[in-house]
Amino acid sequence: MIVVELSKLLRRPRTWVTIALLSGLPVIVGIFVKTSGLAPAPGEGPALLSEVLTNGLLFPAAALAIVLPLFLPIAVSVIGGDSVAGEAANGTLRYLLTRPVGRSRLLVAKLAAIVTFIFLAVIVVALVALAAGVVLFGIRPLSSISATELSPFETFVRTVLAITYIGWSMLGLGAIALFASTRTDSPLAASLATLAAFVGSQVLDLIDATKSIQPFLPTHYWLKFVDFYRDPILWRDVNEGIALQLVYVVVFLGAAWANFTTKDITS
Amino acid sequence: MNTADVVRTHGLTKQFAGGLLAVDGIDLQVRQGDLFGFLGPNGAGKTTTIRMLLGLTRPTSGSIEVLGHDVARHAHDALQGVGAMVEGPAFYPYLSGTRNLIIFDGAGAGGPRRTRKERVREVIERVGLADVGDRPVKAYSLGMRQRLGLASALLRTPRLLVLDEPTNGLDAQGIHELRTMFVELVREGTTIMLSSHLLAEVELICTRAAMMSSGRIVAQADVAELLAPTGWVRVTTPDIERALRTLQDGPFGYQQVAPDLVRVNMGDRPPELLNRAFVQSDIRVRELVVERPTLEDVFLERTGHGDIR
């Protein structure tokens, strides 16, 4: 069933349009930064963008920092929210279930498709940005944030780690989207509910009054991927971020399973 | 349970959360080899029943067995041998007809991957879509989608086909082809359960039928039995005055319905008795017809919304 879901994902034009748009934005930013020669001052604008003028190898990470706060979560919400509700709205859900495909198996396959989309998206964004970065800015040894020097190979390893972390960071949101998707027959409603959860988390993460719950918010550790560019890598927050995502996946996948396996399919 | 039963429900009931009693304690029995008509007006509970048979909706109470498996506990086993089309066909519009079927064949415990293309080609040819199989489904007409839905149900050669309003959207030619195909499939050993609100359509091909109204089954029998003669005979004769006089002396009830037409209630007695009586009295009989009800008549009679003319 996972193979079937992946084939549906990869044959769907929307998947590739979404990924193309995600990859295009950082390239546009890169071109403007290059032609104007105006990088944001350190500490302003998307993380790491201030550094790319001096080194194209850093551009994949900067590109992910550009899409991470908004565009990537939107894409995950749309794809994830559509996963079950889209089948329901389309009428194909009843045909899959009477094939028969077990409901638990279908959920797992859907989650696998969401995870595949997430990693496919971040990898393509990073590869496109790498190409653009090398062409626009060239390769040089990198100064880490901690002011020691990183070799190009070391930079590459760090970037792979950062990409994996960013993909992993989306899993919680993906699981929330999957759960929302089993609660309604409208993919739009499921996607917007997921976006609401995302925006809500961002808002709560901003204000001082909610400090006590901030370490538990799904978006809290997202930007910690910059810690991979410290020397040595600062693992503490990254590890907590990884564990937190896992908790969200378990909780919302469980909720989606409890809901979906007992539900009357009336679509 | 009779092993020849393909579908059997007992006291099957579905009450929706809002309190609506959609299906009210029905006992359905579809036997091996039946071309079973499942009839009733829109909203009678047919689709809800079919959804329960297919494990999509849970019954409030009652039991269902499909192909010898309890659907509540072993839906997966029960559905292995079932092909279904419920509430219209549905596909991934951005994929071709062939690709859609490949996806549905691969979903769940499909057949071996090696022969998948072969299976898909077979069913797509059977429903007459071989020429357009490579076009995306969004370019299909309603009739083509309907055929593709049937092709999807036919994948894996099911023992039982459950088809909900399969002729919706088809033109006269398409409906005729479909009927021919149903008869063919039954001859090959498939059992077909066909739901429809068009009683005349079912009358033409079904061997057995159940009628539903407001969540209950109002009739379930062989079609031949449902359409058994009513006991009334219609006689057309130019000698109507003398015919009426003869009937006056006879034991049968009768009523004149036109200047040259009289209906006679023969009850269980053979209609040829009447013909002989007329001929012996030298009454010219132009036409003598044994009255049979249509399924519509039977339905109206059983639901108390009318009576046989």
User: What was the pLDDT predicted at B309?
Assistant: 40
Which residue from B207, B96, B80 is spatially nearest to B145, judged by alpha carbons?
A: B96
Cα–Cα distance measured from residue B92 to residue A165, given in angstroms and rounded to the nearest whole number? 33
Secondary structure of chain A in HEC code, one letter for each residue: CHHHHHHHHHHCHHHHHHHHHHHHHHHHHHHHHHHHCCCCCCCCCCCCHHHHCCCHHHHHHHHHHHHCCCHHHHHHHHHHHHHHHHHHHHCHHHHHHCCCCCHHHHHHHHHHHHHHHHHHHHHHHHHHHHHHHHHHHCCCCEECCCCCEECHHHHHHHHHHHHHHHHHHCHHHHHHHHHHHHHCCCHHHHHHHHHHHHHHHHHHHHCHHHCCCHHHCCCCCHHHHHHHHCCCCCHHHHHHHHHHHHHHHHHHHHHHHHHHHCCCCCC
3-state secondary structure of B154: helix
Cα–Cα distance measured from residue B225 to residue A98, given in angstroms and rounded to the nearest whole number? 33
* Domain B232-291 belongs in CATH node 3.30.70: yes
Which CATH number, 3.40.50.300, 3.30.70.330, 3.40.35.10, 3.30.413.10, labels domain B5-226?
A: 3.40.50.300
Which residue from A72, A183, A184 is spatially nearest to A124, judged by alpha carbons?
A: A72
Residue of A nearest to B93 (CA): A90
Q: Is B200 or A224 the better-scoring residue by pLDDT?
A: A224
Check if B160 contacts A (Cβ < 8 Å). no
Residue of A nearest to B155 (CA): A99
User: What was the pLDDT predicted at B167?
Assistant: 84
Give start-end residues of each CATH 3.40.50.300 domain in chain B. Answer: 5-226
Does residue A175 surpass a pLDDT of 50?
A: yes
Backbone angles phi, psi at B133, to 5 degrees: -60, -25
CB atoms A102 and B108 under 8 Å? yes
Cα–Cα distance measured from residue A228 to residue A256, given in angstroms and rounded to the nearest whole number? 33
CB atoms A96 and B107 under 8 Å? yes
pLDDT by 10s per residue, chain B, length 309: 456 799 999 999 999 988 889 999 999 999 999 999 999 888 899 999 999 999 999 999 999 999 999 999 998 899 999 999 998 899 999 999 999 999 999 887 767 888 889 999 999 999 989 899 899 999 998 889 999 999 999 998 899 999 998 888 788 888 888 889 999 999 999 999 999 888 887 888 899 999 999 999 999 999 989 988 888 999 999 999 999 998 998 888 999 999 999 999 988 888 888 989 899 989 999 999 999 888 888 888 888 765 444
**Contact between A118 and A166 (Cβ < 8 Å):** no
For residue B234, give how far its alpha carbon lies from the nearest alpha carbon of chain A (Å): 49
User: What was the pLDDT predicted at B306?
Assistant: 52
User: What was the pLDDT predicted at A145?
Assistant: 66
A96: left (phi over 0), alpha (psi -120 to 50) or beta: alpha
Check if B241 contacts A (Cβ < 8 Å). no
For residue B139, give how far its alpha carbon lies from the nearest alpha carbon of chain A (Å): 16
Check if B21 contacts A (Cβ < 8 Å). no
Check if B84 contacts A (Cβ < 8 Å). yes
- Other residues' Cβ atoms within 10 Å of the Cβ of residue A112: 16
User: What was the pLDDT predicted at A231?
Assistant: 80
Of B87, B95, B104, the CB nearest to A99: B104
pLDDT tens digit string along B106-149? Answer: 887 767 888 889 999 999 999 989 899 899 999 998 889 999 99
ipTM of the complex in this document: 0.85
Q: How far apart are the first and last CA of chain A?
A: 21
* Residues near A244 by beta carbon (within 8 Å), at least 6 away in sequence: A172, A215, A216, A218, A220, A221
CB atoms B84 and A98 under 8 Å? yes
Mutate which: A16, A17, A98, A259, vs B, most B CBs within 10 A = A98
* Least confident window among A152-156, A240-244, B142-146: A152-156
Residue of B nearest to A15 (CA): B94
Tell me which DSSP letter residue B140 carries: -
Give start-end residues of each CATH 3.30.70 domain in chain B. Answer: 232-291
CB atoms A98 and B106 under 8 Å? no
User: What was the pLDDT predicted at B305?
Assistant: 65
Please count the residue pairs, one from chain A and one from chain B, whose beta carbons lie less than 8 angstroms apart: 81
